Amino acid sequence: MNLNPSGWRPEAGDAAAAAEADTYTGNRALMLEEPLIFEIGDTETTGVDFDAGEAASSSRLGGLERTAPIGLAGLTEPEAVRHYTRLSRQNYAIDLGLFPLGSCTMKHNPRLNEKVARMPGFADIHPLQPVDTVQGALAVIQELAEWLIALTGMHAVAMTPKAGAHGELCGILCIKAALDARGDDRNVILVPESAHGTNPATAAFAGFRIENIPANADGRVDLDALKARLGPDIAGVMITNPNTCGLFERDMKAISDAVHAAGGYVYCDGANFNAIVGKVRPGDLGVDAMHINLHKTFSTPHGGGGPGAGPVVLSAALAPFAPLPFVARQEDGRLKLIEEENAGEEHPQTFGRMAAFNGQMGMFTRALAYILSHGADGLRQVAEDAVLNANYVLRRLEGVLDAPFGKSGPCMHEALFSDKGFAEGFSTLDVAKALIDEGFHPMTMYFPLVVHGAMLVEPTETESKAALDQFIGAVASIAARAKAGDESLKAAPVHAPRRRLDETQAARKPVLTWKPPAAA
């Protein structure tokens, strides 16, 4: 066993270790260093017991037995629990404090949702069981679908996309299929410069050419410029509303009308739906397709980068092209799945299947529990509190940080600031890293691209006024240091599990897996 209790690279040497840390272990009280499983475990250790002697009387493996060592390190249960518990403590999380990542909607994740998702009736059922044995699961999908349709004022919803970007792809493929069905070879999608990177990546993936739509001075789509570009080659637009500057696109209906009149479709990136849920229905604004991040607006946990779920609501024009499978009600009231088998009769224009099985069931149960908890009245309050919290941050900080669109009126769910006014050599990155030392997760940095040194703050509705006041105080204090040119900011963070990490080295000589020391 290769015990490396300090978590240091062996080749870094003890001298370097001693210079930096003043403890034997490298630990600092509750801040505990933790080696890799491959450094503390070995291939003979296991934390799972099996009945001895259970083996096939004769192997049917086709002569392909795996005889070479695999290298997988094992830990006993106490070692494994400690390993992952120690790792978990090196993470920031919503459960610990404000997580104001703009466009990410890091709201509280209710634990009722976790409990519900783990009910055996949802967690322990197979996607290919006969549909008569999973009527309750289909009912969850159906009930959630009905809520999403009602909340958005749309015609239908495709439930299977597995995350926001997968939902974007679903919407864009619906548009492509609709164009194909009418024999139209339009191939340009217009995307604002402020869009999430997934928008142009998705449209390009589906074979479209991307052109930028310019923004006007107050941070919104330039309607006149958009209209001037519309024509027979424009397949559609992808617009984020509220947009990534935190502003509602006032001209959304006019944009939709103009795009429709020119023969195109309107895709809306619904990442920011949290700002308007229960207050505004995208269907009333002429939207043809919009994905909904259940892991944003509807509180399913982000889990350190997923899983998400990205159902796509669709207009009557695009609904016939929605992907398989989906749930439908039979005449006898039972629920059924429309899949490859019966699509020919029931849904002949579908563009096909986007993934195996029936969608992110574990996210559906959580989202439905959240929606039922809030209800129609509570969801409206969610949007209102989210917008109030963001405006409170905007107005309390606009005297401290430059707010490029502060004069444009109120923001929606997120407040945008720039690095204007910082001393020479000080940047958004320094402010973000200093916030870490203050016990906060930083805001979204350098996005959207339309603002220099952007800082995008989305507090969400699950923050109290006291939490916001403390955050505002911390940002104001750091901003003052950035304006004064306080060199100590450059060292931040100094209280986190790690100092600033060398990302250039990581990219230049990628080390993506652990190798045994001899082979390293």
Sheet (strand 209-213) strand order: 156-158, 312-314, 289-291, 265-269, 234-240, 188-192, 209-213
**Toward other proteins, which CB reaches closer, 124 or 331?**
124
Provide the minimum distance between the beta carbon of 483 and other proteins in the complex, in angstroms, as a whole number: 23
Whole-angstrom distance, CA of residue 313 vs CA of residue 287: 9
Question: In the stretch 86-105, what mask flags binding to other proteins with x, by CB under 8 A?
Answer: -xxxxxxxxxx--x-x--x-
Provide the minimum distance between the beta carbon of 132 and other proteins in the complex, in angstroms, as a whole number: 7
Which helix (H) or strand (E) is 391 found in, with range?
helix 361-397
Whole-angstrom distance, CA of residue 302 vs CA of residue 106: 8
Whole-angstrom distance, CA of residue 323 vs CA of residue 385: 35
Which helix (H) or strand (E) is 177 found in, with range?
helix 164-181
Among the listed ranges 59-67, 227-235, 417-425, 476-484, the one in contact with other proteins (CB under 8 A) is 59-67
Neighbours of 44 (CB within 10 A): 8
9 in contact with other proteins (CB under 8 A): yes
Angle at 389 between CA 385 and CA 390, to 5 degrees: 120
338 in contact with other proteins (CB under 8 A): no
**Dihedral, CA of residue 232, residue 234, residue 235 and residue 240, to nearest 10:** -150
Q: Which of 32, 176, 240, 416 binds other proteins (CB under 8 A)?
A: 176
Cis peptide before 214 (omega within 30 of 0): no
340 in contact with other proteins (CB under 8 A): yes
**Toward other proteins, which CB reaches closer, 419 or 438?**
438
Q: Which of 351, 405, 417, 422 binds other proteins (CB under 8 A)?
A: 351
Whole-angstrom CA distances from 225 to 216, 243, 268, 448 are: 9, 17, 19, 20
Binding to other proteins in span 112-171, by CB under 8 A: 112, 114-116, 118-130, 132-137, 139-140, 143, 147, 150-151, 162-166, 168-169
Q: Which of 98, 102, 110, 272 binds other proteins (CB under 8 A)?
A: 110
210 in contact with other proteins (CB under 8 A): yes
Neighbours of 341 (CB within 10 A): 11
Q: Which of 30, 185, 305, 331 binds other proteins (CB under 8 A)?
A: 305
CA torsion sign for 328, 146, 308, 372 is negative
Provide the minimum distance between the beta carbon of 232 and other proteins in the complex, in angstroms, as a whole number: 21
488 in contact with other proteins (CB under 8 A): no
Question: In the stretch 431-470, what mask flags binding to other proteins with x, by CB under 8 A?
Answer: -xx--x----xx----x-------------xxxxx-x---
**Toward other proteins, which CB reaches closer, 70 or 228?**
70
Among the listed ranges 54-62, 222-230, 312-320, 450-458, the one in contact with other proteins (CB under 8 A) is 54-62
Provide the minimum distance between the beta carbon of 282 and other proteins in the complex, in angstroms, as a whole number: 9
**Toward other proteins, which CB reaches closer, 353 or 483?**
353
Which residues are CB-neighbours of 317 under 8 A, at least 6 positions away? 178, 265, 288
Structure tokens at 307: 């899983």
Q: Which of 22, 54, 332, 345 binds other proteins (CB under 8 A)?
A: 54
Binding to other proteins in span 306-335, by CB under 8 A: 306-309, 323-324
How many residues sit in the footprint of other proteins (CB under 8 A)? 213
71 in contact with other proteins (CB under 8 A): yes
CB 432 within 8 A of CB 442: yes
Question: In the stretch 216-235, what mask flags binding to other proteins with x, by CB under 8 A?
Answer: --------------------
Strand partners, 416: 456
